[in-house]
């Protein structure tokens, strides 16, 4: 029998934390699996153990109110299989379950149309593995659909998106039709442990493009009018991931500096010249001086600037920031050198987008200003990568920068050179995130009043913000 796990039922004030259950098991294997029991149908999970050792399995089925409807614990013997039918647990619903096990199981999903006809089958795999990390990266998927007649049958189709995490899932879906035109475009949100249906446009065929703030369970289902129910099912996973073709945005110019959270513009007050330079370059610069950072605040602007925050953002503020970028906003993050007591709050923001600072202070003994190894000079011949931000920039200078580490999706714009410490490490990075963009720099001095006029620091800052605004 699998070890017992303590789990809270979801209520208005309680959250289910799957990571707690995972940690109680010998290994950390977890899958998020969809189910569909609407229209009198049923859904069967078949879990098989292909190994030579018993595997403990803990199946958690989430119901109509996004809370736990049923929890099964069992042990699957070597080369054996177990079946779980979902309709007796949650009837007439589309949702998801979480499978936590002590080893990798083969998970097969079968759908029954009104209990009489097997109407579709799917094999879950690595695409369904879940780790429940808050810093999951945004990703975009493509899928096909048909709702116009095929043969003697006509169909409808829907995408069911389930959120197997404690974090609000945000997304954007575009449906393109047989005329190569946008048939529907929708923004959506899925609360933790909930499922949302996105209906495909009627009487056409084409493809959909869906962008999510983090990993989800996605099930594309087709329904037959002749069979009067579900007829085909397809799980979307990483094999369906595509490069995000960003739609050309409307002209953007509104920039918001965060002066709360003891960010440098408000706490130190020495980013005033940078704000003036952005204004001179045609942008509208505002200051957020009080209150929480909310969606209503951010959505009035096109880019948000966080410079050396000394107070952590709340969870709701973090959700608002991620949602803002995912929906098309720009975010400029300026960190400070490592080991500073004020570094962690900004580091938390970096983590939301799959990046981190290296908690250090980079040094270059040969390419620096004022014979100070921490005043590193970055130039186009030694340090730059090809990127719109550095186009036309010959050099810039920092003062006590941390280097940065970016995961998948991040591009290095500028890095230290071969005799630096650390060697060849990014200091300026950028990425697309959902419909938006993020730029991160390891130094907050670069655009302070005393350094913005040094070398091409001013021009670099303007180009960073213009890139975030989709102007370059």
Q: Is the pLDDT of residue 68 over 80?
A: yes
Span of 184-188, 301-305, 336-340, 344-348 with lowest mean pLDDT: 336-340
Q: What is the percentage of the chain residues whose pLDDT exceeds 90?
A: 65
Does residue 11 sit within a domain?
Answer: no
pLDDT of residue 266: 86
Whether the predicted pLDDT of 415 surpasses 50: yes
23 or 380, greater pLDDT: 380
Do 461 and 388 lie in a common domain? Answer: yes
144 and 259 part of one domain: no
- Pair 65, 139: CB distance under 8 Å: no
pLDDT tens, residue by residue, 362-372? 999 999 999 99
Q: Which residue, of 81, 99, 128, is where some domain finishes?
A: 128
Q: Predicted confidence band at 10 (pLDDT cuts at 50, 70, 90)?
A: very low
Residues 409 and 290 in one domain: yes
In a domain, 346, yes or no: yes
| Whether residue 115 has pLDDT greater than 80 | no
Q: Domain boundary residue among 78, 108, 128?
A: 128
Q: 67 lies in which domain range?
A: 18-128
Provide the whole-model pTM.
0.59
The CATH number linked to 351 is 3.40.50.880
With residue 182 as reference, give the H or E element that holds it: strand 182-190
pLDDT digits (tens, 9 = 90+) for 391-402: 999 999 999 999
Is the domain of 439 the same as that of 351?
yes
pLDDT band at 23 (very low <50, low <70, confident <90, very high): very low
Please indicate, yes or no, whether residues 68 and 199 belong to a single structural domain of this protein. no
Based on the domain organization, do 108 and 152 belong to the same domain?
A: no
Residues 160 and 22 occupy one common structural domain: no
Name the residue among 395, 409, 406 with its Cα closest to residue 446.
Answer: 395
Specify which residues 42 forms β-bridges with: 112
- Residue whose structure tokens are 């007649």: 149
175 and 323: one domain?
A: no
Q: Are residues 396 and 287 in the same domain?
A: yes
Q: Is residue 245 part of a domain?
A: no
Number of domains in the chain: 3
Instruction: Indicate whether 294 pLDDT > 90.
Output: yes
- Residue 102 belongs to a domain: yes
Q: Which pLDDT band holds residue 242 (cuts at 50, 70, 90)?
A: confident
Q: What is the pLDDT of residues 246-275, one digit of tens each?
A: 555 677 899 999 999 999 998 899 999 999
In a domain, 332, yes or no: yes
Q: 449 and 327 in one domain?
A: yes
Q: What is the CATH number of the domain that holds 79?
A: 2.60.290.11
* Average pLDDT over the chain, rounded to an integer: 87
**b/e burial code for range 118-134 (CB count within 10 A of at least 16 → b):** ebbebebeebbbbebee
Stretch 39-61: mean pLDDT, rounded?
A: 92
CB atoms closer than 10 angstroms to residue 8? 13
Interatomic CA distance for residues 338 and 162, integer angstroms: 38
> Is the predicted pLDDT of residue 131 greater than 60, yes or no?
no
Confidence of residue 136 (pLDDT cuts 50, 70, 90): low
Q: Does residue 177 share a domain with residue 67? A: no
Residue 7 lies in a domain: no
- Could you tell me if residue 5 is inside a domain? no
- Confidence check: pLDDT of 18 > 70: no
Strands 42-48, 106-113: pairing kind: antiparallel
Same domain, yes or no: 314 and 394: yes
Residue with tokens 């999970």, as numbered in its chain: 45
Domain end call among 103, 128, 153: 128
9 inside domain: no
């Amino acid at each position: 029998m699998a070890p017992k796990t303590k789990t809270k039922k979801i209520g208005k004030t309680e959250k289910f934390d799957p990571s707690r259950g995972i940690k109680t098991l010998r290994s950390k294997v977890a899958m998020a699996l969809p189910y569909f029991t609407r229209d009198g149908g049923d859904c069967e999970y078949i879990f098989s153990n292909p190994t030579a050792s018993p595997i403990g399995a803990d199946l958690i089925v989430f119901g109509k109110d996004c809370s736990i409807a049923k929890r099964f614990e069992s042990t699957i013997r070597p080369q054996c299989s177990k079946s779980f039918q979902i309709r007796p647990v949650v009837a007439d619903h589309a949702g998801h379950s979480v499978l936590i096990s002590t080893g990798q199981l083969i998970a097969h999903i079968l759908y029954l149309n009104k209990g009489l006809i097997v109407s579709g089958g799917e094999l879950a795999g690595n695409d369904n593995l879940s780790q429940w990390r808050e810093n999951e990266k945004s990703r975009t998927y493509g899928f096909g659909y048909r709702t116009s007649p095929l043969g003697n049958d006509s169909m409808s189709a829907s995408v069911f998106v389930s959120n197997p995490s404690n974090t609000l899932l945000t997304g954007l879906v575009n449906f393109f039709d047989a005329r190569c035109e946008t048939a529907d475009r929708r923004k959506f949100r899925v609360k933790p442990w909930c499922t949302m249906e996105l209906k495909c446009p009627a009487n056409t065929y084409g493809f959909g493009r869906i962008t999510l703030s983090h990993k989800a369970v996605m099930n594309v289902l087709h329904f037959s009018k002749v069979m009067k129910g579900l007829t085909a099912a397809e799980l979307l996973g990483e094999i369906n991931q595509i490069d995000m073709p960003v739609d050309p945005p409307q002209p953007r110019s509104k920039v918001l500096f965060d002066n709360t959270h003891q960010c440098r513009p408000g706490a130190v007050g020495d980013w005033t010249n940078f704000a003036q330079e952005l204004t001179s370059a045609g942008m509208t610069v505002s200051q957020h001086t009080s209150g929480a950072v909310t969606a209503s605040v951010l959505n009035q602007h096109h880019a948000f600037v966080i410079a050396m925050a000394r107070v952590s953002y709340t969870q709701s503020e973090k959700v608002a920031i991620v949602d803002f970028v995912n929906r098309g906003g720009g975010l400029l993050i300026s960190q400070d050198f490592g080991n500073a007591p004020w570094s962690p709050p900004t580091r938390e923001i970096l983590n939301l987008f799959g990046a981190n600072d290296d908690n250090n202070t980079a040094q270059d003994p040969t390419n620096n200003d004022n014979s100070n190894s921490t005043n590193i000079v970055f130039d186009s011949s030694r340090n730059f990568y090809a990127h719109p931000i550095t186009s036309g920039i010959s050099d810039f200078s920092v003062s006590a920068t941390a280097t940065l580490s970016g995961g998948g999706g991040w591009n290095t714009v500028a890095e230290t050179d071969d005799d630096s410490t650390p060697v060849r490490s990014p200091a300026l990075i950028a990425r697309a995130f959902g419909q938006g963009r993020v730029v991160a720099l390891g130094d907050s001095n670069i655009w302070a009043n005393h350094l913005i006029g040094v070398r091409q620091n001013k021009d670099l800052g303007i180009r960073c913000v213009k890139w975030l605004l989709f102007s370059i």
